[in-house]
Structure 1
Amino acid sequence: MKQHIKIKLLIAHCIVLLLSLMILGIYYWKFEIADFATQWEKLRHQFQLQDRQFINEMNKLRGKPQEMRSYLDRYAQDYSMRINMYDRETGKTVTVDSLSHNLFSVTLQDDQYTDEKHRYVFTFTHPVTWDMLQPLQTSKHIMGVSILLFCLSTLFLATYSRKIAMLPLVTFYEKHSELLKTDLQCYPREMEWEKIYSTLVQANEKLLLEKRKQSVAMAAISHDLKTPLTSIKGYMERLMKGRVQSEETRQEYYQIIYRKATEIEKLMQDLSEYVQNDSHPLLVRKQVPLQAFVESIASEYAEELPAFSAELHCTCEVEGNPTLFIDEQRIRRVFANIIHNSLNHSHAKDNVRVNMRVYTDQKQAIFELEDNGPGVPLGELSKIFEPFYRVDKARSKVKNGSGLGLAICKGMIEKQDGNIHAYLPPNGGLGIRFALPVQELD
């Protein structure tokens, strides 16, 4: 959500900047440049009037070449300009150059008969000075317009930023307005609004945390699917292109492909079970005698575990005839996940040993399962029940677990009014303890 707000604010700043520049450009073009052009034309007109006056004086000196040349030199000197006089009849040119170094110059041309025999073309080059440009300066209003646009832009962005910053709280309130009204009724009327705001902020942070967890889960699923699929694709490509000549090697490739496909199937099953369990599944609960249930579990794994070079030792300290009101199949799945987790995370050289102890305490059945594996760092005990969380791979001999086993266990236990947590046994390894409510049969 924070990243989304930052992007929105960045886009808003860019749009406001572009609009301000566009408005400033339109103003400059519509008013300042148009006014400059008008003033410039006036300046050119003054030069033209000055040139016409010069030509009129030259016409008065017809037939007096010496006086014309003298007047030409004097006029060019007085006005610091350059004048070319070209005689079209004789092809001769007279140039008088007294042009001073200025900002730049303006060249004007005019045709005029100065006597009966000759026709001259005059080219006048007038100097342009800073004094002449002073009335044409256009920056006097641009600064004021720029400051006005800056103030309006700042006001708009401040209002928009505040609205965007409050958007998560508004969205949360709209989604949960009824719940909030009910919750806020329990507060005293004189409660300060800061406390209400704090409540909304905390609720919004929880929503953001859940969204972040969903993103992590999607990334983990993508990674866990991509790894076996890449292997399957590589082996299939070699088989399809006929690169494997040995029948023994082909059979080995088929087994690898089947194993990778089985990993994907297991991941899909775990994911489906996790989603169903997380979305309030329909539980098939019934009365199950605790003693008989424990004996059934111990008997099942006493036969299964030797095939994995492992063994289960069970101790049951139950008095009376307590019963569990549970969905038996789902609780059996809890035992399967915990025990298989111990098998997967033990070292190959280890003879895996799982100790199971069952006892009752204050109307609860307590189940403790401890293994002799490498265990889990103390700081990670609270994280192993999070979906897709994996301890350091160096501690595991199974590299492609789904990371959902213990998360499924936690969901199943809590949905049946129990609780579960992990601990470190005194002799090493990892311990999982979960409790379920019991009833006493008459």
Structure 2
Amino acid sequence: MSSVPEVVVTGLGATTPLGGDVASTWASALAGQSGARTFDNDWAEKYGMPVNFAATIAVNPEEVLTRPEIKRMDPSTQYAIIAAREAWKDAGAPEIDGTRLGTVVSSGIGGIWTTLDAWDTLREKGARRVLPMTVPMLMPNSPTGFVSLEFGAKAGAHALVSACASGAEAIGYGVEMIRSGRADVVIAGGTEATIHPMPISAFAASRTLSLRNDDPTGASRPYDINRDGFVIGEGSGIVVLESAEHAAARGAKVYAKIGGVGLSADGYHITSPEPSGDGQIRAMKDALADAGVSATDIVHVNAHATSTTVGDLIEARSIRGVLGDDADHVALSATKSMTGHLLGGAGALETIFTVLAVSERTAPPTINVSDPDPELTLDLVRDTPRALRDGDIAAVNNSFGFGGHNVALVVQNA
């Protein structure tokens, strides 16, 4: 019986509030910069919105894509294509039979700009003016579809939808595609483009957004006693996953390996995490077991940590519940303090951060924590990066989503 293939990361791509590619995004994160900005429009005044800022994309897709591409893609797909092209190039543009190449690119909400623009057109100008490309642009599988077309991927083109866990679950599914023998290479990740008056107003109505209009860059403050909600962000993170055997055969550089995947559901509430953290704990434990590592091997955790009053501490207690006393030696990072919350793109971008943390032995900082919550018992990396030890190491990336979705990925040095 053949052994299960080891899955490695050979390419990284991103476009985010911190930069138009992985290098600029990572450099900005290590420098502790925030991507949050006050809107340069009249949305707040026009619609009576209580929030007038967000972590908007750093590089406009119109600077990168052609006009025809812009016209036939929702912004969520534009971001994914930009990130996927970078990741593919970074991986060395591997030559591969399309039947051995898959895509898994997810979005938590999908083409909301296209949906709402089409509705405005219908109301104001009538049915004849609705664009014929509307449905292919708004459907949540549009990003993975376009990515599969771009690279000729025929092993499968999937789009898992699990709210803010979507990007991480996409990567987990890509790992399973390779492990099961369906593919040798998978382009996987997440994307989101929801900085629009309607979703922002809806999140604000649910009391999950920070209202620090006078201090956008300081608004996302995970684990701070004065945190008041997350900052909505946008962008995409994409990785190229590959079987270790396939990567070695073509001499590819390897950043790290995805050693473990853990999935669970709370079965508790449509938006609130289960208070005991049971589902989060099960996901993390399963990921560690899948990777064949113990708590002593974990040196870093990139937390979901959105900056909500309740969610941050539930996760912190869950991490302690899994790692026990070994949590005292783990460098905890909450990078949404800088990027904002990319929703369906968050887990993928944070997987990239975790891969780079392991590869470069550097945990990125958490910013804006001037008064740490006294209930936090973990070692939070604040303001400046933290060096990670030599030798074999492992890190965990957590992603949780509305609907009770829990995803944990274990990243190990190659």
| Bigger RCO of structures 1 and 2 (CA < 8 A, at least 6 apart) | 2
Name the TM tier (shorter chain): under 0.3
Greater helix share, structure number: 1
Greater CA radius of gyration, 1 or 2? Answer: 1
